[in-house]
Amino acid sequence: MSLKKLDPLLTDKLTQLQQQDLCKGNEKVVTGMQAAADGFGPRYFLEGYGDRAFLRMNSNSYLGLSVHPQVIKAEAAAAEKFGTGPGAVRFISGTYRPHIELEQKLAEFHGRESAMLFSSAYTTMTGVLPQFISADTLVVSDALNHNCIINAIRLSHPAGKEIYAHADMTALDKILEAYKGRVKRVCVVTDGVFSMRGDYAPLDEINACCKRHEGAYEEGIITLVDDSHGVGAFGRAGRGTEEYTKAKADILIATLGKAFGVNGGYVVSSSAAIAYLRETSPFYIYSNPITPAEAAVAGAALDIVTSDEGLQLLEKLRLFSARLRSGLEQLGFETLPGEHPIVPVLIRDSGKTSALAAHLLANNILVTGLNYPVVPQGEQEIRLQVCAEHTGKDLDYLLAKLADFKR
């Protein structure tokens, strides 16, 4: 047995991906961090780039909690007490006190009866959504939903699948009307904040639309929202799309690996729904949980988010996001309105998008360039992400380099 026959086929496939500009290429390796100084935020060193220090504008660590002293101290203390790993899946012997305490905190934070941890937000979605879709269920999905939702639907084998145009409530209404009498249950699934654009699902309007049609379905309509980019970064108190729209999903999924600065994912819902998931979700039952130390760290991060310090960090995010959007508009770049720290620069051309990303890298700025087919043709962009670790001088430097490219 060997891979001698398969390796050439895999190499050919990689070559095809490269020719189609679908390869991500080699990953950049962070080798160290330079502390904030002289009015600038921290800088990052990369393998192969010598002593060049980079401004990072493509991080999901919106509140900078991954390097917060209180968070680091909590991880060290928990690792000293519980060790570095859980040692087993949770139903065998892998459940620790920090897991239970974090789940209680997350449920309270989101105003829910219960919460449940997973190893990542991606596995949360793929481990949760299929458990609520039967052979008599229609699943309805926003056209711009994340890849984890797309793959979770593929795992689900629903009675039907419908895609509505991004945030188009008229289209959603027509779908729910058309399927009356054809299925017993409907699951409407959407991102909260959309990762490529920084805009959000109109959850209040989605709920109102579902409420109008729910009586026609024997098992009702449920809403499921993945707000991984919203929680901890959006809304005055960091409770994401639900807070911003003043509406709640039946099932909410989010991550610990972005604004909370740690690792892992979770779901919050009713006690019955979470109890059902603990007994049925294979990604929970057969996978190790996050480590006890990670759970303790996430709890410490959540304590910061709900404190006065957290409110100040969130306010800074809003102000700096508005400042960056305003600066882009003054330079003549196209962006989208909003309060979220994802600030897209819409270039709408693959060559120009790649050129701008290369220009910023040459000037020691790390950004994410998004080209077709990652985004639809004509929607090519540079995704900028504001973090609480940034300073006014950082944004001024970024805007100056963008102005240089514009000229």
Q: Model confidence over 328-378: pLDDT tens digits?
A: 999 999 999 999 999 999 999 988 999 999 999 999 999 999 888 778 888
Give dist(CA 317, CA 385) in Å, integer: 10
Beta pairing class for 265-269 and 114-118: antiparallel
**Inter-CA distances, 297 with 83, 230, 385, 393, Å:** 14, 20, 23, 30
pLDDT reported for residue 183? 98
User: Does residue 22 register a pLDDT over 80?
Assistant: no
Q: Quick one: which of 34, 74, 40 has its CA closest to 53?
A: 34
Q: Quick one: which of 272, 232, 228, 268 has its CA closest to 250?
A: 268
User: Does residue 229 register a pLDDT over 80?
Assistant: yes
218 and 267 part of one domain? yes
pLDDT reported for residue 2? 86
Give dist(CA 252, CA 266) in Å, integer: 8
In this prediction, residues 130-137 reach a mean pLDDT of 97
The CATH number of whichever domain residue 399 belongs to comes to 3.90.1150.10
In this prediction, residues 385-401 reach a mean pLDDT of 97
Give dist(CA 329, CA 327) in Å, integer: 5
330 and 296 part of one domain? no
Give dist(CA 118, CA 103) in Å, integer: 11
298 and 367 part of one domain? no
Give dist(CA 179, CA 125) in Å, integer: 25
pLDDT reported for residue 36? 93
pLDDT reported for residue 49? 96
User: Does residue 19 register a pLDDT over 90?
Assistant: no
* Order of strands across the sheet that contains 368-370: 342-346, 381-385, 368-370
163 and 285 part of one domain? yes
Give dist(CA 398, CA 403) in Å, integer: 9
Considering its fold, how many domains does the chain have in total?
Answer: 2
pLDDT reported for residue 370? 85
Average pLDDT, the chain: 95
160 and 269 part of one domain? yes
**Which of the following is catalytic: 258, 340, 390, 401?**
258
pLDDT reported for residue 130? 98
In this prediction, residues 56-71 reach a mean pLDDT of 95
Q: List pLDDT tens digits, range 245-259.
A: 999 999 999 999 999
* Order of strands across the sheet that contains 114-118: 114-118, 265-269, 251-255, 221-226, 185-191, 137-142, 160-164
On the CB side of 95, CA atoms within 13 Å amount to 13
pLDDT band, very low/low/confident/very high, at 194 (cuts 50, 70, 90): very high
Picking from 24-33, 215-224, 273-282, 391-400, which range would have the lowest pLDDT averaged per residue? 24-33
Residue 268: inside a domain, yes or no? yes
pLDDT band, very low/low/confident/very high, at 214 (cuts 50, 70, 90): very high
124 and 211 part of one domain? yes
pLDDT reported for residue 18? 83
User: 163: which 2 tokens?
Assistant: 């895609």
The enclosing H or E element of 185 equals strand 185-191
In this prediction, residues 93-104 reach a mean pLDDT of 97
Residue 63: inside a domain, yes or no? no
pLDDT band, very low/low/confident/very high, at 407 (cuts 50, 70, 90): confident
Q: DSSP 3-state assignment of 155?
A: coil
Tell which of 257, 273, 306 closes a domain: 306
Print the domain residue range for 40: 25-56+308-404
Our answer to whether residue 287 is catalytic in this structure is: no
**Which of the following is catalytic: 229, 248, 316, 340?**
229
169 and 288 part of one domain? yes
Tell which of 291, 306, 321 closes a domain: 306
Strand stretches in 216-257, DSSP E? 221-226, 251-255
In this prediction, residues 98-124 reach a mean pLDDT of 97
Residue 77: CB atoms within 10 Å: 14
Cis ω on the peptide bond leading into residue 373 (within 30° of 0)? Answer: yes
Angle between helical axes of 292-305 and 97-109 (0-180°, round to 10)? 30
In this prediction, residues 191-198 reach a mean pLDDT of 95
In this prediction, residues 99-128 reach a mean pLDDT of 97
100 and 151 part of one domain? yes
298 and 327 part of one domain? no
240 and 291 part of one domain? yes
Picking from 84-98, 267-281, 291-305, 366-380, which range would have the lowest pLDDT averaged per residue? 366-380
User: Does residue 398 register a pLDDT over 80?
Assistant: yes
150 and 281 part of one domain? yes
pLDDT reported for residue 30? 95
Q: Quick one: which of 265, 261, 270, 225 has its CA closest to 245?
A: 225
User: 230: which 2 tokens?
Assistant: 């919203």
**Which of the following is catalytic: 59, 119, 195, 269?**
195
pLDDT reported for residue 124? 97
In this prediction, residues 145-151 reach a mean pLDDT of 96
Tell which of 290, 306, 322 closes a domain: 306
Q: DSSP 3-state assignment of 90?
A: helix
Q: DSSP 3-state assignment of 223?
A: strand
Q: DSSP 3-state assignment of 161?
A: strand
pLDDT reported for residue 13? 92
Give dist(CA 299, CA 304) in Å, integer: 9
130 and 154 part of one domain? yes
**Inter-CA distances, 351 with 62, 309, 362, 371, Å:** 29, 42, 16, 9
Residue 124: inside a domain, yes or no? yes
Picking from 88-92, 233-237, 375-379, which range would have the lowest pLDDT averaged per residue? 375-379
pTM above 0.85, yes or no: yes
DSSP category for residue 195: T
The answer to whether 301 touches 262, Cβ cutoff 8 Å, is yes
pLDDT band, very low/low/confident/very high, at 261 (cuts 50, 70, 90): very high
Our answer to whether residue 229 is catalytic in this structure is: yes
User: Does residue 23 register a pLDDT over 80?
Assistant: no
Our answer to whether residue 195 is catalytic in this structure is: yes
Return the higher-pLDDT residue of 406 and 260.
260
Give dist(CA 146, CA 84) in Å, integer: 31
Return the higher-pLDDT residue of 372 and 51.
51
Residue 379: inside a domain, yes or no? yes
Q: What values do phi and psi take at 95, rounded to 5?
A: -95, 125
% of the chain at pLDDT higher than 90: 92
